[in-house]
Structure 1
Amino acid sequence: MEETVLMESIMGLIVHSGNTRSECMEAIQLAKNGQIQEAKEKIQLANDALIEAHHSQTALLSQEARGEKVEVSMLLIHAQDHLMNAITFRDLATEMIELYERIKGQ
């Protein structure tokens, strides 16, 4: 894979995963303040960002599936770490919103 394309995929993973995490953090704060519907909307934005992160990851996986070497670097490992954390954070944020919804009786 061309170095520029590889870097774009890696940076896409990092940026979109970071956006996912940020949207989830905002969602938790909204739910904490009783703004459940707004929190759910933030989770949808987080899901959209996560889809974009997956597109970046899929580009790398497709290349490797075609037999083209993908150089594993610390930056790529860092990007994958961001993605896995974003997925976990999104799942936990969703659960927390449901809990706040129950607590607040909405």
Structure 2
Amino acid sequence: MEDDELSRVAMEVILNAGDGRQCIDQALEHLASFDFDGAEACLNDAEAKLLLAHRAQTDTIQRQAAGEEISYSLLFTHAQDTLMTISAELHMAKKMMPLVRALATK
């Protein structure tokens, strides 16, 4: 894999993960006003964006595992870190849904 292709993949991961983070932020805003349908829709959008980022990352990892030469890239490492962090944010936002629902019924 050429360096410029790896940079393109890294940016794809970063941009999709970043879009996912914006969806998570919107979901939390909906959640704060007890708009559960809006929150759920935004979390679904976030999940779709993170799936795109994850697929791009996984394809690159699988290519290297299959023997393709892929040089180290700080940008790709940053992309993986970004994806991991935002995936954790999505996980926590999903875990908050039932808690806020329970608070809303009290």
TM-score (structure 1 length as normaliser): 0.92
* 1:62 and 2:62 matched: yes
1:12-91 equivalent positions in 2, closer than 5 A: 12-91=12-91
Q: Equivalents in 2 of 1:76, 1:61: separation in Å?
A: 11
* Alpha-carbon separation, structure 2, partners of 1:62 and 1:5: 15
Answer with 58-67 or 76-85: which moved more: 58-67
5+ residue gaps, structure 2, are none
Shift of 1:62: 1.9
Secondary structure at the aligned position of 1:12 is classed as: helix
Task: Please give the alpha-carbon distance, in whole angstroms, between the structure 2 residues aligned to 1:21 and 1:56.
Answer: 17
| Matched residue type, 1:99 | L
Runs of 4+ in 1 over 6 A off after TM superposition: none
Conservation of the 8 A alpha-carbon contact between 2:6 and 2:76: no
Quote the RMSD (CA, aligned, Å): 1.4
Is 58-67 or 44-53 further displaced after alignment? 58-67
- CA distance in 2 between counterparts of 1:56 and 1:93 reads 23
The count of aligned residue pairs is 106
Shift of 1:97: 2.1
Structure 1 residue runs of 5 or longer lacking an equivalent are: none
